[in-house]
Amino acid sequence: MDFDEQFLFLSFLFLECVFLYLMTQENRRWWVRPIFRERNEKGAFRNIFTHMKTKDPEMFFKYTRMLPDQFDSILCLLKPKLLKHSRREYLSPALKLAMTLKFLAHGGSFQSLSWEFRVGHSTVSKVIFETCTAIWDTMQPIYLKSPTEQEWINISHQFSNRWNFPHTLGAIDGKHVHIQCPLNSGSLYYNYKNHFSIILLACCDADYKFIWADIGAYGSEHDASVFRRSQMGKQLDEGSVQLPKVDQLPSSNVEMPYFFVGDEAFPLKPYLMRPYPGRQLTEQKFQLQVGMWKQHKMNISDKFCCRLSRARRVIENSFGILASRWRVYRSPLLCSIKTTEAVVKATICLHNYLKTEAPTTYVPPTLIDSLKDDGGTNRDGEWREIIQNDTNLTPIGRVGANISASATMALRDKLAEYLISDAGAVSWQMAYVNRGRF
């Protein structure tokens, strides 16, 4: 085919495409729906949002979970990624961020956001994904970066000072994030709780801020392999994380590696401490049945589990704050898998940002668990009541095997012995362990 024939063929193909396009446009009722043409006059951004931002900061906080100054700070960070240039009218970065925060803070459907902000349904979906992705890409390196060795040690000091558990680098837990059935996914995301989900594994510091997050494992994945196959588990097993070196426990010559704490669902590892298994008998039954030596072991394990549980409740509260502030977790997420993962990542970054920049506004003292005057008894926070009927973030099952190496169990025994020694004991632990027992 020579040049003239190629030119004629391409010209004919172009004219045919133009003809088909014009035929399509003739069948459209309108290029932009009339309701969307009134976005600037009647949309929520120019009316409700702007009014609250300028005249009612308290309602603005309820609407977006942040104050106007924090909104402007986030907008400055995200603006380069959200600003688009087009011959047609385009959505401003401020409107995109406002729409996304409204969705994250209160949940609902994309269709309701479409009506509220006078934006097309498909546009809402794109905006939510684009803005959540921008939040993660921009804020994760600042507010969710990997700690350095010195920062790990600082976290350990926080756990020791605030929660009386030494050498702790963080508290780990996992949740099922309830989603609608993804298209053509079969049973990949269908979990043992009879709904579709992805798995969120996270670790937090002593101040309820997330320091690690692993998002997106299939809900159907076998519980025992979830942690082992996660990025977090792989890096810890391979030793690629720069954790502090083995050091002596405070006020003693007992050497102990630094570790994370988790509940009985997690495996016992040198870098991960979990409670002793099984239920304990009363002191009287131990005296009658198994003698004083096992009674001593019972006291050690009870005190160890009590102290570890106190440190581990930090991650419970972190998830509680996340779910109570960002009500998108109230019910199943009605969006694609990639948008769901972007939403979860965005809420974690926003949680850390607000916990850092506005800690008392974002997390008032009554929202989280607190300690009673005896120093050891917990008082439940308001987040437990707020999310008690939610159906989205639900606990995961066992995420690792119960079989542990004898050397690792010996490490746990050594730590437990330290916690009842003069160097490691606290004044309230005996009364707390024996509460209601005798």
Taking only the tens place, the pLDDT of each residue in 60-109 is: 999 999 999 999 999 999 999 998 866 667 889 999 999 999 999 999 89
The answer on pLDDT for 26 being more than 60 is: no
Q: How far is CA 250 from CA 59, 116, 415, in A?
A: 47, 57, 12
Do 283 and 385 lie in a common domain? yes
Rounded distance between C-alpha atoms, residue 369 and residue 363, angstroms:
11
204-253 tens-digit pLDDT: 999 999 999 988 787 777 655 778 888 888 888 888 888 999 999 998 89
Do 135 and 165 lie in a common domain? no
pTM, rounded to two decimals: 0.86
CB 54 within 8 A of CB 343: no
3, part of any domain: no
Q: Helix/strand/coil (H, E, C) string of the chain?
A: CCHHHHHHHHHHHHHHHHHHHHHHHHCCCCCCCHHHHCHHHHCCHHHHHHHHHHHCHHHHHHHHCCCHHHHHHHHHHHHHHHCCCCCCCCCCHHHHHHHHHHHHHHCCCHHHHHHHHCCCHHHHHHHHHHHHHHHHHHHHHHHCCCCCHHHHHHHHHHHHHHHCCCCEEEEEEEEEEEECCCCCCCCCCECCCCCEEEEEEEEECCCCCEEEEEEEEECCCCHHHHHHHCHHHHHHHHCCCCCCCCEECCCCCCEECCEEECCCCCCCECCEECCCCCCCCCHHHHHHHCHHHHHHHHHHHHHHHHHHHHHHHHHHHHHHHHHHHCHHHHCCECCCHHHHHHHHHHHHHHHHHHHHHCHHHHCCHHHCCEECCCCCCEECCHHHHHCCCCCCCEECCCCCCCCCCHHHHHHHHHHHHHHCCCCCCCCCHHHHHCCCCC
**Predicted pLDDT of residue 281:** 39
What mean pLDDT is reported for the chain?
A: 84
The answer on pLDDT for 284 being more than 70 is: no
13, part of any domain: no
Rounded distance between C-alpha atoms, residue 246 and residue 367, angstroms:
36
4, part of any domain: no
CB 274 within 8 A of CB 311: no
Do 47 and 154 lie in a common domain? no
Please name which of 106, 97, 90, 105 lies closest in space to residue 128, comparing C-alpha atoms: 97
Do 57 and 189 lie in a common domain? no
9, part of any domain: no
**Predicted pLDDT of residue 432:** 60
- Which of these three, 97, 120, 143, is where a domain ends? 143
Do 158 and 59 lie in a common domain? no
Do 330 and 410 lie in a common domain? yes
Give the relative orientation of helices 121-143 and 110-117 as an angle to the nearest 10 degrees.
100
**Predicted pLDDT of residue 67:** 95
CB 70 within 8 A of CB 357: yes
Portion of the chain with pLDDT greater than 90, in percent: 46
**Predicted pLDDT of residue 389:** 83
Do 66 and 158 lie in a common domain? no
377-434 tens-digit pLDDT: 678 889 999 998 887 888 887 666 666 678 888 899 889 888 888 888 777 666 665 6
Do 136 and 198 lie in a common domain? no
- Which of these three, 143, 160, 186, is where a domain ends? 143
**Predicted pLDDT of residue 216:** 77
* CB atoms closer than 10 angstroms to residue 292: 9
CB 308 within 8 A of CB 277: no
Rounded distance between C-alpha atoms, residue 77 and residue 65, angstroms:
18
8, part of any domain: no
| Owning domain of residue 352 | 149-433
- Which of these three, 79, 111, 143, is where a domain ends? 143
The total number of structural domains that make up the chain: 2
The answer on pLDDT for 276 being more than 80 is: yes
Please name which of 252, 306, 282 lies closest in space to residue 433, comparing C-alpha atoms: 306
2-13 tens-digit pLDDT: 666 676 777 777
14, part of any domain: no
Do 193 and 314 lie in a common domain? yes
**Predicted pLDDT of residue 18:** 66
135, part of any domain: yes
308, part of any domain: yes
First to last CA, the chain: 98
pLDDT band at 295 (very low <50, low <70, confident <90, very high): very low
The answer on pLDDT for 283 being more than 50 is: no
Do 282 and 299 lie in a common domain? yes
The two structure tokens encoding residue 138:
């921009």
Do 249 and 159 lie in a common domain? yes
What value does the mean pLDDT take over residues 9-38?
A: 67
The two structure tokens encoding residue 131:
């803005």
Do 181 and 117 lie in a common domain? no
Q: By mean pLDDT, which of 34-48, 205-219, 263-277 is the weakest?
A: 34-48
